[in-house]
A = this chain, B = another copy of it.
Amino acid sequence: MNTLGNKLKVTIFGQSHAAAIGCVIDGLPAGFAPDMDRAAAFMARRAPGQNAWSTPRKESDTPEILSGLVEGRTCGAPVAMVIRNSDQRSRDYSGLKRTPRPSHADYTAVMKYGDDYDVRGGGQFSGRLTAPLCFAGALALQLLEQRGITVAAHISRIAGVTDAPPDFATAGREELEALLRKPFPVFSDEAGMQMRMAIEAARMDCDSVGGVIRCFAVGLPAGIGEPMFGGVENRLAAALFGIPAVRGVSFGAGFAAAGMRGSEHNDPFVMDGDRVSARTNHAGGVLGGITSGLPLVVNVAIKPTASIPRRQDTVDLQTKENTSLVIHGRHDPCIVPRAVPVVEAVTALTALDMMPE
């Protein structure tokens, strides 16, 4: 379904070629005055068409608040927001229901919804739906900030080029906030440069590349999360897989943990003044589903963009024969940079939802 969260519920609606997309945010505390300029700036980070390395399409995602705010402050009622779609041209997409694009949701959506599925521009599976998610996340980020919690992500890897991460155990607010000011959020600008070159190379080849985003939450108190199925990992993973193109979610050392020995992977506790800390943070800030007070570290694998301007094999669902197709339209060789704020948004919404009142 299209609703995220328990105490703080975000319901997303819209299709890329419907009249609008938007969201309803239920459960925000009353009396909160969101900084809408900051929210707009945050949303702009995921909008296409603003950087050399992303798609040239231009979205003007101006959120209109329908309810839930009185003179700029939340009143306890749900905050409803809509963004009008300017691009509702009825280019003929119907062929995609017959010859589904490889590695898109065309085929599975037709299997689920039948011929009524809105295939135009990806319909409800469009990456455009992450815009309202970012709006909700922008509000969550501001509320977390008020509690001293910073959420920020970097591009950990694109096309095999790896960024230099901070120390998981001691990652601090300052270095994370520096990320938020970067248009291409990496710690190593050298690595960032190589990543952008890899993206350009893929564009030249009419191809695409994927990557890994690593998101940190610093300042979370210890003791958040429930055991078993209510843990921080369960909740975050369930939320993050809601972002299109996510193929994997891991915490701390993640899949690399599988190759380590216990003596190497275990994080020895150590006092940091009066505070309990650990020498390493392979656990990524969660033990037994519950936060330890160390930085929360979550890794999100993003597959290479499925839309590439090449002829690809597929089938004709009507004639039941093999065929091929070419995807027209703009080519975005790497959505990883634009997915960074989406990962931050989803992480922030989930963290806020799990905080005690």
Contacts and interface: CB of A to CB of B under 8 A. Distances in A.
Nearest to A261: B207
A189 B49 CA distance: 52
Given A1-B9, A1-B230, A108-B291, A260 B116 contact: no
B123 A77 contact: yes
Nearest to A248: B250
Q: Report which residue of A14, A105, A252, A258 has the largest number of chain B beta carbons within 10 angstroms of its beta carbon.
A: A258
Contact of A223 (B108, B211, B257, B299): B108
Interface string A209-241: 111100000000011011111110111011101
A296 interface: no
A253 B245 CA distance: 12
A96 B233 CA distance: 24
Given A108-B223, A247-B254, A1 B14 contact: no
14 contacts: A3-B9, A30-B112, A73-B116, A75-B123, A77-B227, A80-B82, A109-B288, A234-B242, A237-B241, A242-B289, A244-B288, A247-B284, A262-B305, A264-B304
Interface string A170-213: 00000000000000000000000000000000100101111110
A116 to B, nearest CB: 4
A310 to B, nearest CB: 6
B265 A303 contact: yes
A235 B84 CA distance: 31
B290 A112 contact: yes
A78 interface: yes
A50 interface: no
Contact of A24 (B24, B115, B210): B24
Given A226-B1, A314-B268, A304 B13 contact: no
A100 B269 contact: yes
A251 to B, nearest CB: 6
A117 B67 contact: no
Nearest to A315: B269
Contacts of A261: 159, 202, 205, 207-209, 304
